[in-house]
Amino acid sequence: MQRNRVVITGMGWVTPLGADVQRVWQRMLQGESGVRPTEIFDAATFPTSFSAQVQGFQLIDFLGAEAERHADVSRNAGFALAAARMAWDQSGLSRLTTLERERVGVYLGSGEGPVDFDNLHRCAFFGWDHAQGHLDTQRWAEQAYRGFQQMREHQQDPNMAGAHIACLFDAQGPNFDTLTACAASTQAIGEACQWIRRGEVEVMISGGAHSMIHPLGVTGFNRLTALSTRNNDPTRASRPFDRERDGFVLGEGAGILILESLEHALIRGAKIHAEIIGYGSTADAFRVTDIHEDARGSSAAMRLAIQDAGLTIHDIDYINAHGTGTKENDELESLAIKKVFGDHAKKVPVSSIKSMMGHLVAAAGAVELMTCVLAIRDQILPPTINLTTPDPACDLDYVPNQARPAKVRTALSNSFGFGGQNDTLIIRQFEG
């Protein structure tokens, strides 16, 4: 069955290294780190007291007068709106006088909104019966009702970013939200492509947003022993594929892309940044926090994406790794690449921008795919910084510490999430 080709016509992001696409890209090529002591809340007593935070974010700086309509959004939804505004404007769609709005959709990867701990603590305190030493559920319910009203419960809902984006651009087509953890925005982009391929829409606003830098998020990952605890050296804490790695660094942000059918983009004379040609999605079906020891799901996702693109392993010029900096993930992703690429694996450069950005969780895949677009545009690969002590189990070419000029026509981007979610996208330099 013939399917529509899908192209990228707009990109926007909000990251720990900034929000201007070109400036952030240059900082990545210079190997800068966005990791610093946590300021969003007092993390001094936590096992991990640092993170990769978005600095100085104000929604009005991106939306202007439109920000008033979205004044009550959560932090992560605000990131999504800002990134979407930049992507939409870059695509040139804002200049169109006519656009069939029912054929413009939204597909995001996201997670829960930030938790209002002050109100939760207040509710619990006033519901506690100190004389009896237990929670008075009636009193707690009364306090909680008032407290949750103040918390604006809708800010917690994961689908709010997509709802606000639809309102901002009058996108009346399908609106979806996927919650597949660290794989979410890659999966969202892949599924958005399917809608365009089938001809059911012309434009999809897709990507992801997330912010988990709050006490609950940090505590959860610390209890899982997933976070680095290198508190005395935060900028060197995120070190994918390095033997001294001790966990990932929690980040936050958003990445939004405008996807269009090639025909729609050509008719309106849009600038095309790249073409999405392959998508693979699998589940490990193993454990909710561990990758299968044979890397069966992640290797299958890559194979499916290569097959979907109609390519061979020799056509892939660069792999943007999931590359979190945990012992398990880095070893098994390296194993998966070797299982798929065989003897060719050591000839394909691989790098992880999480070494500079931290892990943006549901937003990570979209930001990393944008990095692939820029690598193709400028024919240069971003480095994996902090890679100073090679791990014998991670024996591929990880572009250590310095950006590298390279011939890049086709790039593959991996995202693997808790729950055993595996998603891979392949993009190619656009050729009419």
H or E, element range at 157:
none
Query: Of the residues 182, 193, 372, 394, which is catalytic?
Result: 182
Helices (H) and strands (E) in the chain, counts: 13, 16
Contact, 78 vs 155, CB < 8 A?
no
User: Is there a catalytic annotation at residue 130?
Assistant: no
- For residues 59-85, one letter each, b for 16 or more C-beta atoms within 10 angstroms of the residue's C-beta and e for the rest, the string is beebbeeebeebeebbbbbbbbbbbbb
Of 279, 205, 255, residue with least CA distance to 427: 279
70, 214, 292, 322: which one is catalytic? 322
How far is the first Cα of the chain from the last one, in angstroms, to the nearest whole number? Answer: 21
CA distance 188 to 415: 11
Q: Are strands 274-283 and 318-320 parallel, antiparallel or unpaired?
A: unpaired
Annotation marks residue 182 as catalytic:
yes
Q: Tell me, what DSSP letter sits at residue 34?
A: -
| CA distances for 336 relative to 138, 180, 208, 303, angstroms | 53, 20, 25, 10
| 112 sits in which H/E element | none
Closest CA to 423 of 250, 198, 189, 206: 189
Which of 70, 359, 372, 394 is catalytic? The answer is: 359
384: phi then psi, degrees, rounded to nearest 5: -100, 105
Structure-token pair, residue 236: 């060197």
Catalytic positions = 182, 322, 359
